[in-house]
């Protein structure tokens, strides 16, 4: 069975073909660089760009993989959570394809797809486990005692880690998306140069907060610019270290509290080299198995959607043309 996965929950248009036993046949992604001038994703622009790019991305994917439409046996599509306009474009396109080809269509929870993206490295998830999902829109900790059971134990009270990276990068004039830009600048900076706040530390809970860090960075930048002493690389490195410190500390504490032997990361910020290095080291010190997705599957992508759709299809599910989108919703609740 060959499954087409469609991902349009935010600003990336990504389609992929996946077959059980064979893996990812091919993937094609179009990034929306138009948002760079705004320093963040503009929902209306994002949905319009998906309208423009979905068909070209689809035809390019089929051409590169030498796949005929008749060889697609099912369609999986992210139907939430995400930007409603972007989701509607993707789901509408998926419905048209499924109807025209006479194949099943299943909606995929975007966060579950990110979690399962770890399996695209070749190994199934080990249970029980703890998963840190960290991206531009989400910072969450899940305890997963068994397949399909997602227990949300911690989330951000305000900004997601990826959003903090984006806003800090904008303050420093580093461009968008902020994560890669901050990582690049930080590689030439001193992470101990500036002491930025680490909010909500301690072992009493697993929630996150990054709004205070953003404010602290802004105040530091304003003062440094006024005095002529701004060192962009040091600010980037120090801010990145503050974010990573909290992410690693809470993930490890969560794993120990739930007595699990495996920790996974997922989402766009899971591509951050410093986070991967620090979390891998912390897990190793405590004899916890550390896992991370391949870098190409950290960002929003159609391959993870197709993989997640396979699990739903194996259950005999077909959402047909009644499939709807949702802006928010628990993993496993849709």
Tens of pLDDT, residue by residue over 179-194, are 999 999 999 999 999 9
Q: What is the pLDDT, as a whole number, of residue 189?
A: 98
pLDDT mean across residues, the chain: 94
Residue 287: CB partners within 8 Å, gap ≥ 6?
261
- pLDDT, one tens digit per residue, over 48-61 is 999 999 999 999 99
Q: What is the pLDDT, as a whole number, of residue 38?
A: 62
Is the CB of residue 153 less than 8 Å from the CB of residue 140?
A: no
The two structure tokens encoding residue 164: 């903090």
% of the chain residues with pLDDT over 90: 90
Tell whether the model's pLDDT for residue 202 goes beyond 90: no
**Residue 91 burial (CB count, 10 A):** 22
Q: At what angle do helices 273-285 and 232-257 cross, to 10 degrees?
A: 40
- The string over 227-260, giving b where at least 16 C-beta atoms fall within 10 Å of a residue's C-beta and e elsewhere, is eeebebbbbbbbbbbbbbebbbbbbbbbbeebeb
Q: What is the pLDDT, as a whole number, of residue 17?
A: 98
Is the CB of residue 305 less than 8 Å from the CB of residue 57?
A: no
Tell whether the model's pLDDT for residue 84 goes beyond 70: yes
Note the CATH number of domain 127-260: 3.30.420.40
Smallest Cα–Cα separation from 68: which of 58, 78, 76?
A: 58
Average confidence (pLDDT) over 123-141: 95
Q: What is the pLDDT, as a whole number, of residue 40?
A: 67
Q: What is the pLDDT, as a whole number, of residue 43?
A: 83
Q: Please report, in angstroms and rounded to a whole number, the separation of the first and last CA atoms in the chain.
A: 24
Is the CB of residue 67 less than 8 Å from the CB of residue 27?
A: no
Tell whether the model's pLDDT for residue 100 goes beyond 80: yes
CA angle 271, 299, 142 (to 5 degrees): 75
Q: What is the pLDDT, as a whole number, of residue 334?
A: 44
- pLDDT, one tens digit per residue, over 283-304 is 999 999 999 999 999 999 999 9
The larger pLDDT score, comparing residue 258 to residue 31, is at 258
Tell whether the model's pLDDT for residue 35 goes beyond 70: no
| pLDDT band with cut points at 50, 70 and 90 for residue 220 | very high
Tell whether the model's pLDDT for residue 276 goes beyond 70: yes
Smallest Cα–Cα separation from 184: which of 285, 272, 248, 283?
A: 272
The two structure tokens encoding residue 153: 């134990």
**Beta-strand (E) ranges in the chain?**
3-7, 13-19, 23-30, 74-80, 105-109, 129-134, 139-146, 149-155, 262-266, 289-291
Residue 266: CB partners within 8 Å, gap ≥ 6?
114, 115, 117, 118, 131, 132, 133, 134, 293, 298
pTM of the model: 0.94
| pLDDT band with cut points at 50, 70 and 90 for residue 41 | confident
In the chain, residues under CATH classification 3.30.420.40 are 3-115+297-322, 127-260
Q: How far apart are CA 334 and CA 237, in angstroms?
A: 39
Q: Beta partners for 74?
A: 3
Torsion 59-61-64-65 (CA) sign: negative
Is the CB of residue 255 less than 8 Å from the CB of residue 263?
A: yes
Tell whether the model's pLDDT for residue 333 goes beyond 60: no
Note the CATH number of domain 3-115+297-322: 3.30.420.40
- pLDDT, one tens digit per residue, over 302-332 is 999 999 999 999 999 999 999 999 999 999 7
Q: How far apart are CA 286 and CA 300, in angstroms?
A: 31
Q: How far apart are CA 86 and CA 77, in angstroms?
A: 12
């Amino acid at each position: 069975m060959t499954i087409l996965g469609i991902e349009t929950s935010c600003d990336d248009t990504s389609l992929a073909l996946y077959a059980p036993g064979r893996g990812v046949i091919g993937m094609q992604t179009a990034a929306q660089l138009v948002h760079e001038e705004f320093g963040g994703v503009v929902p209306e622009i994002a949905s319009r760009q998906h309208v423009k790019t979905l068909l070209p991305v689809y035809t390019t994917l089929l051409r590169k993989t030498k796949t005929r439409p008749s060889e697609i046996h099912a369609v999986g599509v992210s139907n939430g959570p995400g930007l409603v306009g972007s989701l509607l474009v993707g789901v509408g396109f998926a419905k048209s394809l499924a109807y025209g080809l006479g194949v099943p269509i299943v909606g995929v929870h975007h966060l579950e797809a990110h979690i399962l993206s770890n399996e695209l490295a070749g190994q199934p998830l080990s249970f029980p486990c703890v998963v840190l999902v960290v991206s531009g829109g989400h910072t969450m900790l899940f305890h997963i005692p068994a397949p399909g059971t997602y227990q949300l134990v911690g989330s951000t009270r305000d900004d997601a880690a990826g959003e903090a990276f984006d806003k800090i990068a904008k303050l420093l004039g580093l461009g968008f998306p902020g994560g890669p830009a901050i990582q690049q600048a930080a590689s030439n900076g001193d992470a101990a140069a500036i002491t930025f706040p680490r909010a909500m530390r301690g072992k009493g809970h697993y929630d996150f907060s990054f709004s205070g860090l953003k404010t602290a960075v802004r105040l530091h930048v304003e003062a440094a610019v006024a005095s002529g002493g701004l060192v962009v690389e040091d600010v980037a490195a120090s801010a990145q270290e503050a974010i990573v410190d909290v992410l690693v500390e809470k993930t490890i504490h969560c794993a120990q509290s739930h007595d699990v032997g495996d920790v996974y990361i997922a989402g766009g910020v899971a591509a951050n080299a410093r986070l991967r290095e620090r979390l891998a080291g912390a897990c190793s010190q405590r004899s916890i198995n550390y896992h991370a997705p391949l870098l190409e599957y950290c960002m929003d992508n159609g391959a993870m959607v197709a993989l997640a759709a396979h699990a739903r299809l194996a259950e005999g599910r077909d959402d047909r043309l009644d499939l709807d989108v949702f802006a928010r919703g628990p993993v496993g609740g849709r």
